Chain A
Amino acid sequence: MKAYKMEVRFTILLTALFLLAGNVALVFSIFPVQGNLFGFPIMYIVPILSGWFGILFLTIVANKAGNKIDEEIERENGLLTSTSAETETGKQKKSHNKEGA
């Protein structure tokens, strides 16, 4: 379940961060700010920069995290396979012993 929890948390958190980075204008519409940045009004240029470089940064994070979660799911799948194989072997051994006895 560790990989599952990781997958769910990662998806919810990243979705929220993506929505935030793409909707900085919503934040500014609630909490307006004054002033300029790089010669533009802050409330104009920050949503544009966040909507490009902010999203780009998050896609890099999502790329790495997504690959890591895939590996984790594979690892847990591997554990599951080896556990069931061990159980199977154990069962076979037991029945072999019984037959032997």
Chain B
Amino acid sequence: MGEEAWQLSNPMLGIGAIVATFILFYVVGYISNRKSSSVTDLYVAGSSIGPLTNGLAMASTYMSLATFLGITALILQLQVPFIMLWIQLILSIPLITIIYGTSLRRMGAFSPTHFIRERYGLSASIIAALFMILVSLMYALGQMIGIALAFETVLGIPYMTGLIVGGLVIVGYVTLGGMAGASNNAAIQMVIIALMFIVPLGAIMKAMGGSGWFFPPLLYSDMVPAMLEAMPNFFDYQFSPKWYVSLIGLTIGSLGLPHLAMRIYTASSLKSARTAMVWFAFIIGLVFSATYAMGFVGVYATETQGVAISAADADKLTLILNLVYNPEWVTALVIAGAISAGLSTLSGNLLAIGALLSQDIVSVLKPDLKVRTRVKLGYAAIFTGGIISILLAINPPAFLVVSILWAFGLAGVTNAPLIIVGVWWKEANKFGAIAASVIGGALYIVVSPFVFPSIVLTGHSVTDGMGLSGAMLAIPVSFILLIVVSYLTNRMPKLSAMLTAKEDHALIERIHGWKDVHPGRYNSTIGAAITVVFFTVIAVWAVMPWNM
């Protein structure tokens, strides 16, 4: 089997499946939105979503086109190390829930930026919001590349045409409000994403002769001996422990993603939010395991079955496997599932951009602005964000996952330390927050290969591009700056006079559930010192040679 142009021979099948999915989401979104009557309804669904629906919605928000297309491509490229990288991303919602999610829900925050505004003041929140817009744009870029590839495969058109057609259709759809605030929709999407990924994977495994096709996520060990014979180094870890330590930067990054934490605020109670976390872990574990299996099967197909996939087509691996082993109508459904995964994440990203710009920046700077103007501005921001992500995707990075994981790192540097330290340490103040966000964020951008290609930490393109090396340096720097600058400025009378320490302390106690303020709580200098020493060691280690 030689290299070929991978596309559906009957584009109508793909178009029909995509249109049907869009109609389903639109109807569910319409019915759900009819019940929304206030701002609280729109953003956090009146805090009334049950644990299973919320768990599914959390998983759907987290799953993106990367699940369908990106992960498998990088498993093809990096093999097992990339699987090991992806595994720890399941920690996002559980860690958000136990570290700060329930506290922010108690506070009644609409978004992490809302908390940063209450905790550190306007300047810090505007800086955080600007970085969050960049995070959302880079996240949206990955989705946009995937959508272009999916449309390319459906219609057999060039990437650029696929990007413009697919991109405009989706941006128009999101801007018109097709997805706003519908957790029910997100839950349905999750079921569709899981079915359209796992069932066709089972069929592919069966066609290849795999005996565990009835439960693809874990039952493919019978294919291991043939894989080892064809590719003896598939299971090798390849990289040093330092590379595996740097993966924790992605975990911290996921704690700073604006659209994820929002799901905890939609829960009907704290108990319900915690139960949703359990459902999330079960569902996301199932789908993640299936993507590892899909990656394994993809490498197996190229190594043992003669399926040739060019480097340019790596992101299409899942679709190609379906085209080779399954009937065309199944591929059409998989494409529709992939687009719906991209759609849910992209709408989350674009809505976050709209909310960040209109609620967290413009409304703060100009509080007297009419509600109607603010809403218009939000729509304009959503549309502009979409167009920018289309323009960025014209000349995309080699793999769509790269920009998504880079966004994780940026969120980990500019947002996560502010929230984590802000919730757990009373001494954290706005000077520390601004220093951490600005200097940490600038450092992360400088050492990424996208701005100054010659200033990188490892020289290993995927490691630098995914932000692993940059995050291993910039996240510790951000934590250190936040703690040290806050500690020092609290002891400078001129600067400390500009702070609202009393209100901040009361806020921290309140969001942890206390009705009084106790000076001994959330005030550990020893804990802060240990954190600084720990992160200093990591930062120094990050700038030492990586030998990759």
| Dominant secondary structure at the A interface | helix
| B88 and A23 form a contact (CB under 8 A) | yes
Chain A 10-48 near chain B by CB (<8 Å), digits 1 or 0? 110011001100111110111010000011110110011
8 A Cβ contacts from B79-101 to A: 80, 83-84, 87-88, 90-91, 94-95, 97-99
| B88 and A73 form a contact (CB under 8 A) | no
Number of residue pairs A-B, CB distance < 8 angstroms: 134
Known: A51-B288, A52-B289. A62 touches B235 (CB 8 A): no
* Least distance between B254 CB and chain A CB atoms (Å): 11
Known: A47-B87, A62-B94. A52 touches B520 (CB 8 A): no
- B541 at the A interface (CB under 8 A): no
- Bound CA–CA A89/B458 (angstroms): 69
| B98 and A11 form a contact (CB under 8 A) | yes
* Least distance between B346 CB and chain A CB atoms (Å): 26
Known: A19-B248, A25-B84. A55 touches B281 (CB 8 A): yes
* Least distance between B29 CB and chain A CB atoms (Å): 29
| B91 and A18 form a contact (CB under 8 A) | yes
Number of A residues contacting the other chain (C-beta, 8 Å)? 44
Known: A77-B515, A81-B515. A63 touches B251 (CB 8 A): no
| B84 and A7 form a contact (CB under 8 A) | no
With both beta carbons as reference points, the residue of chain B lying nearest to A67 in the complex is identified as: B271
Q: Which B residues touch A56, using CB under 8 A?
A: 278, 281-282, 285
| A63 and B274 form a contact (CB under 8 A) | yes
Known: A44-B80, A77-B514. A63 touches B87 (CB 8 A): no
Known: A22-B251, A39-B224, A70-B270. A51 touches B98 (CB 8 A): no
- Bound CA–CA A65/B285 (angstroms): 22
* Least distance between A58 CB and chain B CB atoms (Å): 7
**Residue B521 contacts which of A4, A25, A77 (CB distance < 8 angstroms)?**
A4
**Residue B274 contacts which of A29, A32, A62 (CB distance < 8 angstroms)?**
A62
- A1 at the B interface (CB under 8 A): yes
Q: Among the listed stretches B9-17, B239-247, B368-376, B435-443, which one makes contact with chain A, having 4 or more residues with CB under 8 Å of it? A: B239-247
* 22 cross-chain CB contacts under 8 A: A4-B520, A18-B94, A22-B88, A23-B248, A25-B84, A29-B240, A29-B241, A30-B241, A43-B235, A43-B237, A47-B83, A48-B289, A52-B90, A53-B285, A55-B90, A56-B281, A63-B274, A63-B277, A66-B102, A66-B270, A70-B270, A77-B515
